[in-house]
């Protein structure tokens, strides 16, 4: 790392520190003072703990740049995401979140995962909600949407089965057809879609050192070296993740690959 390259902190791919452990995140941030940090990258399904004058928001304001991955799947409050706010409440958080991030360029909407399941002849999922959510989110100036389809890990399939749901896998052809519909709708709203570590789709970077360097208010550069230890199809650049899988997420999402 050169003198012009500061740390990119990731908080966190492994768990929702903002949504579940705001006090722990505050303590961990103290180990990385703002003069050593280029960007704090936030990953959350519920940013409420860093909004409205709360202590975590005050701690994050000390850093020159925040980049927020805000996941809104449309499934909040239902069987698949029982402890996540309904999507209407999530969308209502965009205004204070924009005030914290300072520009919509620093917010990425994650429609992740796309899911379809069946129980007792009833089908449920969130694919059609994309079109509703895109129309609600685009007017805030957010132009980046990242998505992926649910991964049918054995523990995910078993967890859903215990709740009575059978996960319906999408074929590659179905994913491509759905992607074309998503991209058309997104393009009409000025949004661009990227696919997160999906076979058959272009590689993308949820943490993109070049992009974060361009966005930085002081023009500072961060590493553009490829991240180590990520999935084969991940295009992310180097960062330091300050979350742990032992910080067990409390959202209770049935499809979560991180839960044992």
186 or 2: whose pLDDT is higher? 186
Closest CA to 212 of 130, 48, 101: 101
Q: What is the pLDDT of residue 92?
A: 98
CATH numbers and ranges of domains, the chain: 5-115+126-150+172-241 (3.80.30.10)
How would residue 166 be classed by pLDDT, with cut points 50, 70 and 90? very high
Task: Give how far the C-alpha of residue 118 lies from the chain's centroid of Cα atoms, to the nearest Å.
Answer: 25
Residue 2 pLDDT grade (very low, low, confident, very high; cuts 50, 70, 90): very low
Instruction: Identify the CA nearest to 236 among candidates 251, 225, 221.
Output: 225
Instruction: Report, as an integer, the average pLDDT of 126-130.
Output: 98
Among 50, 259, 21, which Cα is nearest to 159's?
259
To which residue do tokens 């917010």 refer? 107
Where is 209: in which H helix or E strand? Answer: helix 209-215
Residue 60: CA count within 13 A, CB half-sphere: 31
pTM comes to 0.96
What pLDDT does 1 receive? Answer: 44
* CA dihedral sign of residues 120, 125, 131, 135: positive
> Hey, what's the torsion of the CAs at 242, 245, 248, 254, to 10 degrees?
120
Dihedral (C-alpha) 49, 138, 151, 197: value to the nearest 10 degrees?
-100
């Amino acid at each position: 790392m050169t003198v012009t390259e500061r740390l990119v902190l990731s908080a966190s791919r492994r768990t929702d520190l903002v949504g579940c452990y705001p006090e722990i995140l505050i303590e961990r941030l103290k180990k990385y003072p703002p003069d050593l940090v280029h960007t704090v990258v936030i990953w959350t399904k519920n940013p409420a703990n860093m909004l409205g004058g709360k202590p975590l928001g005050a701690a994050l304001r000390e850093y020159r740049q925040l980049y927020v991955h805000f996941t809104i799947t449309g499934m909040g409050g239902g069987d698949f995401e029982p402890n996540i706010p309904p999507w209407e409440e999530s969308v209502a958080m965009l205004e204070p979140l924009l005030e914290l991030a300072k520009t919509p360029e620093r917010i990425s909407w994650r429609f992740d995962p796309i899911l379809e399941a069946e129980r007792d002849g009833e089908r449920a999922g969130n694919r059609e909600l994309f079109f509703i959510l895109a129309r609600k989110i685009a007017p805030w100036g957010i132009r980046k949407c990242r998505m992926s389809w649910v991964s049918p890990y054995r523990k995910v399939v078993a967890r859903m089965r215990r709740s009575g749901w059978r996960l319906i896998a999408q074929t590659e052809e179905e994913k491509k057809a759905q992607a074309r519909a998503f991209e058309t709708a997104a393009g009409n709203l000025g949004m661009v879609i990227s696919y997160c570590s999906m076979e058959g789709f272009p590689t993308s970077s949820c943490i993109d050192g070049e992009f974060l360097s361009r966005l930085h208010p002081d023009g500072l550069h961060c590493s553009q070296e490829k991240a180590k230890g990520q999935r084969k199809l991940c295009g992310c650049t180097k960062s330091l993740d300050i979350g742990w899988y032992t910080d067990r997420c409390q959202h209770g999402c049935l499809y979560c690959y991180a839960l044992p």
